[in-house]
Amino acid sequence: VYAYLESRGGNYPEQVFFGLQYILKKHLLGKVVTREYLDQAAEFWKEHFGYDIINREMWEHIIEKHDGHLPIRIKAVPEGTIVPTGNILMSIENTDPKCASLTTFLETILLQVWYPITVATNSREIKKILLGSLKRTGSPNLITTRLHDFGFRGVSSYETSASRFLTNYQCLLILYISCFFFFKNLVGACAHLTSFTGTDTISGCVLAQKYYLAKTMPAFSIPASEHSTMVSWTR
């Protein structure tokens, strides 16, 4: 079974592809399935739906033949690539005919890539506007620091993220529970760094170093005073 991802169109004619590597390393790389996780997940699904619905034969086949590794092939354009609307960004297919349903089973978690793509694309479009103004005023060299990310305050906390507390079996077989708020904070902050180097959302820098192997500090800020300091001066 073969499936693919593309942008069907939006505000811009191009998209910045970004965020897949984090998803793959975080959720799909290495030994994902074990018999213990399978038993726990089967019990969960039975309670959730009211009867035994899990495709145990396929998952046991993955455990026995593939040692718990998912038999899938994912192809994608290099992250950071500018892709015109209507072109394939990523594809996925099963490499074992006995695991045909695995391809679209993973669709939910892979489609979380829409958010970093959107953030990276918006940042690039804003960068174009800012760069035009900077060129007219004579200081285009300042462009990478002109849009600063204070977005941590605009998303949910680490604690509200489901993914922070999920066991391995849940990450495997309860993929329909989106780790969205935690994902937005981390990957959205990192996606911003594809166009700018200013941020107060430190989690984006941490993700860039851990999952994208950034060797140096990817973004910067200043030790600014808190609002409470200004309030105490009654100004």
Query: How high is the pLDDT of residue 17?
Result: 98
Structure tokens at 44: 């969960």
22: phi then psi, degrees, rounded to nearest 5: -60, -45
Q: Which residue has the tokens 């969960």?
A: 44
Name, in order, each residue with C-beta under 8 angstroms of 80's C-beta and a sequence gap of 6 or more: 16, 17, 18, 120, 194
As a whole number of Å, the CA-based R_g of the chain is: 21
Query: How high is the pLDDT of residue 225?
Result: 83
- Which residue did the predictor score with more confidence, 76 or 167? 76
Tens of pLDDT, residue by residue over 32-84, are: 999 999 999 999 999 999 999 899 999 999 999 999 999 999 999 999 999 99
- Which residue did the predictor score with more confidence, 173 or 230? 230
Query: How high is the pLDDT of residue 157?
Result: 54
Structure tokens at 30: 């290495």
Query: How high is the pLDDT of residue 182?
Result: 53
Torsional sign, CA 131, 137, 138, 143: negative
DSSP for 26-76?
A: IIISSB---HHHHHHHHHHHHHHHSS----HHHHHHHHHHHTTB--EEEEE
pLDDT over threshold 50, residue 166: no
Q: Of 52-56, 58-62, 156-160, 199-203, which gets the smallest average pLDDT?
A: 156-160
